[in-house]
Amino acid sequence: MDAISVIRDKRDRRELSGAQIDWIIDAYTRGVVADEQMSALAMAIFLNGMNRAEISRWTAAMIASGERMDFGGLSRPTADKHSTGGVGDKITLPLAPLVAACGAAVPQLSGRGLGHTGGTLDKLESIPGWRASLGNAELMEVLGSVGSVICAAGDGLAPADKRLYALRDVTGTVESLPLIASSIMSKKIAEGTGSLVLDVKTGSGAFMKNAEDARELAATMVELGQDHGVRTVALLTDMSTPLGRTAGNALEVREAVDVLSGGGPADVVELTVALAREMLAAAGLSGADPERALADGSAMDVWRRMIAAQGGDPSAPLPRAHEQHIVTAPVSGVLTRLDAYAVGLCAWRLGAGRARKEDPVQAGAGVELHAKPGDRILEGAPLFTLHTDTPDALPYAQEALTDAYDIGPSEAFAPSPLILDRVTA
């Protein structure tokens, strides 16, 4: 085998053999194939695609590049969830303890935000003392005693994907559907969960702007799960409007706690419960009632134990930004549109996100939404509150909201569903 032959085959639109895929992934992980060569292959895949057999074998090769976790010793069935990312997407925070309260074990390995989309670990790290990094033994201990854990993936899971993702990020090949699907699913399958529910988002604030592209990605990932023995289902959900009423780290934690307390925004509750039902059904626990677990406080109990088990203080005050700036409505009427990407960009500029993986984030920074589409608002009333520790960032952040919303007559508002479709094998 040699890298040039593999690159030429994909460049010339030929199907890669299983042996070629196994060799190139292993050789790249070991440093035998240079970054320049893998960059060329990634671009060839970006331009010419892969069929189902190629994507499945590529995913298997990335899984084989590292360790695979095993939760077979747990007394509960395991269920996990993955979101393709959005604005205000704090769903993992209430979802993991909610599903655990209903009888499943939830090994939620999560990531950090980059750009306008928020990261689950960044949000949780706004809780004083909370730790994202757990060794395998500690992860198993928390999972066994609490029922849910949210932490960073270890370096041993799919190391080939870690190298390849960093390369794609600087070579303009991130948007390749086969590479996106295999990147997500290699880590989730290596994680060892028995079942997986995918939240594939579409709209301005999502990675996949077009609904048909998002549906194709969902179908590809569901097929990959089935090919590798993981019960997998996907919900296609709308991300044209931010989820909930906050975008930012500590701001979103507060909102998640509201949901666990039996309140919270209707859209966050709706999606949390819908995903919980899917996870419980996939784990063979379809008789459990997630709405009851929210109402009776059992999900909140699991949340508090989970945070404490990872060194956090669930009763400690969350950080607040030093500066707040209120943006008011210029006219009276009904908010007919609120663009998710613009809100996410504003939160990022305020300090809630990062441009590079090594950049720090501000725990208290973000955007608070005082109205959602369909709400009536009066001229001069608060529309957004911007939170930041760097007041110099306020003008630049507010600029992102210039064309972010429309206010008009009530008949100009057309509500759309949050959950657009359900994709199965």
Asked if 246 and 252 count as a contact pair (C-beta separation under 8 A), the reply is: yes
CA-closest candidate to residue 275, choices 87, 93, 77, 113: 93
Residues in the chain: 425
Residues with Cβ within 8 Å of residue 137, at least 6 apart in sequence: none
Cβ-in-10-Å burial (0-12, 13-18, 19+) of 149 comes to: buried
Instruction: Name the β-bridge partners of 384.
Output: 327, 369
| Rounded distance between C-alpha atoms, residue 22 and residue 64, angstroms | 9
Please, what is the Cα angle at 160 between 157 and 162, to 5 degrees? 75
Q: Where in the sequence numbering do the catalytic residues fall? A: 82, 161, 168, 183, 187
The single-letter DSSP state of residue 351 is I
CA 344 – CA 46 distance, rounded (Å): 27
DSSP state of 75: S
DSSP for 105-160 reads: BEEEEE---BTTB--HHHHHTTSTT------HHHHHHHHHHHSEEEEEPPTTS-HH
Structure tokens at 365: 């920074």
* Residue in 238, 169, 244 with CA at minimum distance from that of residue 208: 238
Structure tokens at 105: 């074990």
d(CA 243, CA 241): 7
Element (H, E) at 296: none
Give the DSSP per-residue string, 224-281: HHHHTT-EEEEEEEE-SS-STTEEEHHHHHHHHHHHHTT-S-HHHHHHHHHHHHHHHH
Q: How far apart are the first and last CA of the chain?
A: 34
